[in-house]
């Protein structure tokens, strides 16, 4: 018996649990610290508003467009690994796709730059440039994570994820220490941070992929279109609250946008912690799927949903009861219990929707998932438009309604797939459990 097998039997956790969970925890704490230090360094909520806008725009775009490449790369490399084949041709194909996709989106950003800069960044061209750089920087980060997950190098996966947050807060502290009081340098701290982790794992040799048989486009893109459509809308919906607040706020409401972003971060605590559990479950569920153990696979999903519902209820009640105190202590800002509870409720519904969506992907319902996230995003736009003039209330209602719409769509799709007797396979489970649009 090999040493890894013996170790796996000694621990109650699946492979990758500890490093991935630790990376998400570190990245999450670093995010809270970045917002706190950045606000203090720039002099207040109003001055920090451009950074909040940049942050949520970046994580609407980057995971939306590059996460599907990570998913397909991980799936294809894992399949080749199981067959004893090298995956270098697969990596080349998806790197080419990443460059093409990044170039197209960059051109759109540049063409629309006057509108984006004036309506979203209040005329700050440095933030527009930081957004473009950040978007491109996350392409190699997601491809690196795809290599690491597809080759089973979960420690390196965790390094890419965790280093991003650590580098951001280190750069932020350094900028604050030398007295930088303009938003531009802090924006580029966000933009350049993901490249450091990529450099570290590359230097460790964790991105090496063996030569192998040529890869066809069918091998690397069987579900890419549906994954891309779903991912763009899922990431957009996850970050829609602050993006909408930035667009809809009056000229004298920049401080409100920053405060709203603090509330969104607090409401996400249960969500990103839960994602650590889901990311860690990847190897075990993939093994069940590979063995065709559909009964245990269903039982695992059922237990997972119970955890999701419990965490969602606790998070919502906690936000209502102690959320305003936490926001005041951490960020020296004021938000009502109603706002925090509504944000937590929308996050809880989003968490349930994400779990159902991942199960549907595992059951090869990629098109249904793309449809569900599209419905959710459309619902947000309509409800926010019709829900009155109060900035926070209309966005809160839009977030809750949209998450409920997506959750309902996925629940119906999941029931349909299970009743039809669709069985998962290793590739579909890998795609499902790396379908995580949240970047803490």
Ordered by start, the domain boundaries in the chain are: 15-222, 225-435
Long-range pairs of 384-391 with CB within 8 A, sequence gap ≥ 24: 384/244, 384/248, 391/245, 391/248, 391/249, 391/253, 391/256, 391/260
Whether the Cβ atoms of residue 16 and residue 278 lie closer than 8 Å to each other: no
- pLDDT band for 164, please (50, 70, 90 cuts): very high
Share of the chain above pLDDT 70, in %: 87
Whether residue 46 is predicted with pLDDT greater than 70 in this model: the reply is yes
CB-based contacts of 325: which residues, under 8 Å, 6+ apart?
none
pLDDT tens-digit series, residues 60-108: 999 999 999 998 898 889 888 888 999 999 999 999 999 999 999 999 9
Whether residue 194 is predicted with pLDDT greater than 50 in this model: the reply is yes
- pLDDT band for 173, please (50, 70, 90 cuts): very high
Report the pLDDT value the prediction gives residue 5, as an integer from 0 to 100.
Answer: 42
pTM of the model: 0.87
Whether the Cβ atoms of residue 168 and residue 92 lie closer than 8 Å to each other: no
Report the pLDDT value the prediction gives residue 2, as an integer from 0 to 100.
Answer: 41
Report the pLDDT value the prediction gives residue 342, as an integer from 0 to 100.
Answer: 94
Whether residue 275 is predicted with pLDDT greater than 80 in this model: the reply is no
Report the pLDDT value the prediction gives residue 375, as an integer from 0 to 100.
Answer: 97
Helices (H), 11-44: 17-42
Whether residue 421 is predicted with pLDDT greater than 80 in this model: the reply is no
- pLDDT band for 360, please (50, 70, 90 cuts): confident
Report the pLDDT value the prediction gives residue 365, as an integer from 0 to 100.
Answer: 87
C-alpha dist (Å) from residue 367 to 57, 179, 223, 229, 431: 25, 50, 9, 9, 13
Report the pLDDT value the prediction gives residue 136, as an integer from 0 to 100.
Answer: 95
Whether residue 279 is predicted with pLDDT greater than 60 in this model: the reply is no
In the predicted model, what is the mean pLDDT of residues 419-439? 70
CB-based contacts of 1: which residues, under 8 Å, 6+ apart?
none
Encoded tokens for 392:
């926070």
Report the pLDDT value the prediction gives residue 354, as an integer from 0 to 100.
Answer: 87
DSSP state of 422: P
Classify burial at 291, counting beta carbons within 10 Å of its beta carbon; exposed 0-12, middle 13-18, buried 19 or more.
exposed
Report the pLDDT value the prediction gives residue 7, as an integer from 0 to 100.
Answer: 42
Specify the DSSP element, H or E, that contains 149.
Answer: helix 125-150
Report the pLDDT value the prediction gives residue 128, as an integer from 0 to 100.
Answer: 96
Mean pLDDT, rounded, of the chain? 86
Report the pLDDT value the prediction gives residue 286, as an integer from 0 to 100.
Answer: 56
CA dihedral 149, 153, 155, 157 (to 10 degrees): -30
Encoded tokens for 265:
């971060």
Whether residue 196 is predicted with pLDDT greater than 70 in this model: the reply is yes
Cα 407 to Cα 412: distance, rounded to the nearest angstrom = 9
- pLDDT band for 276, please (50, 70, 90 cuts): low
Higher-confidence residue of 2 and 274: namely: 274
pLDDT tens-digit series, residues 208-234: 999 999 998 888 888 888 989 999 999
Whether residue 185 is predicted with pLDDT greater than 70 in this model: the reply is yes
pLDDT tens-digit series, residues 384-404: 999 888 888 999 999 999 999
Q: Which of 164-178, 297-311, 418-432 has the lowest mean pLDDT?
A: 418-432
Can you count the helices (H) and strands (E) in the chain? 18, 0
Whether residue 24 is predicted with pLDDT greater than 60 in this model: the reply is yes
- pLDDT band for 126, please (50, 70, 90 cuts): very high
């Amino acid at each position: 018996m090999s040493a890894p097998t013996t170790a796996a039997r000694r621990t109650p956790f699946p492979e990758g649990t500890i490093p991935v969970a630790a990376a998400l925890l570190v990245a999450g704490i670093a995010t809270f610290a970045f917002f706190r230090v950045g606000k203090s360094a720039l002099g207040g909520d109003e001055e920090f508003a451009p950074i909040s806008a940049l942050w949520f725009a970046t994580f609407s775009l980057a995971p939306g467009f590059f996460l599907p490449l990570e998913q397909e790369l991980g799936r294809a490399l894992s399949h080749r690994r199981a067959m004893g084949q090298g995956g270098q041709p697969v990596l080349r194909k998806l790197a080419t796709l990443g460059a093409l996709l990044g170039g197209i989106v960059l051109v759109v950003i540049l063409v629309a730059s006057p509108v984006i800069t004036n309506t979203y960044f209040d005329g700050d061209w440095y933030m527009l440039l930081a957004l473009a750089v950040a978007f491109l920087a996350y392409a190699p980060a997601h491809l690196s994570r795809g290599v690491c997950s597809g080759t089973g190098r979960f420690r390196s996966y965790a390094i890419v994820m965790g280093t991003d947050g650590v580098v951001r807060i280190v750069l932020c502290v350094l900028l604050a220490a030398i007295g930088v009081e303009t938003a531009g340098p802090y924006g580029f701290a966000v933009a350049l941070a993901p490249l450091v982790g990529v450099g570290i794992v590359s230097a460790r040799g964790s991105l090496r992929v063996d030569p192998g048989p040529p890869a066809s486009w069918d091998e690397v893109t069987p579900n890419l279109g549906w994954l891309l459509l779903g991912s763009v809308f899922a990431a957009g919906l996850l970050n829609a609250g602050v993006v909408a607040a930035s667009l809809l706020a009056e000229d004298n409401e920049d401080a409100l946008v920053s405060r709203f972003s603090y509330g969104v971060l607090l409401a996400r605590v249960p969500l990103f912690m839960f994602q650590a559990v889901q990311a860690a479950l990847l190897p075990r569920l993939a093994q069940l799927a590979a063995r065709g153990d559909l009964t245990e696979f269903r039982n695992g999903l059922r237990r997972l949903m119970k955890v999701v519902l419990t965490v969602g209820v606790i998070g919502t009640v906690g936000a209502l009861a102690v959320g305003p105190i936490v926001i005041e202590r951490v960020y020296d800002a004021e938000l009502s219990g109603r706002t925090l509870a509504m944000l937590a409720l929308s996050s809880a519904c989003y968490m349930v929707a994400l779990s159902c969506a991942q199960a549907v992907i595992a059951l090869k319902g990629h098109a249904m998932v793309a449809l569900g996230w599209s419905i959710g995003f459309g619902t947000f736009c309509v409800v926010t438009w019709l829900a009155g003039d109060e900035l926070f209330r209309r966005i809160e209602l839009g977030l809750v309604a949209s998450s409920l719409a997506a959750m309902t769509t996925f629940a119906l799709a999941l029931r349909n797939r299970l009743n039809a007797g669709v069985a998962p396979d290793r590739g579909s489970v890998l795609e499902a459990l790396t379908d995580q649009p949240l970047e803490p």
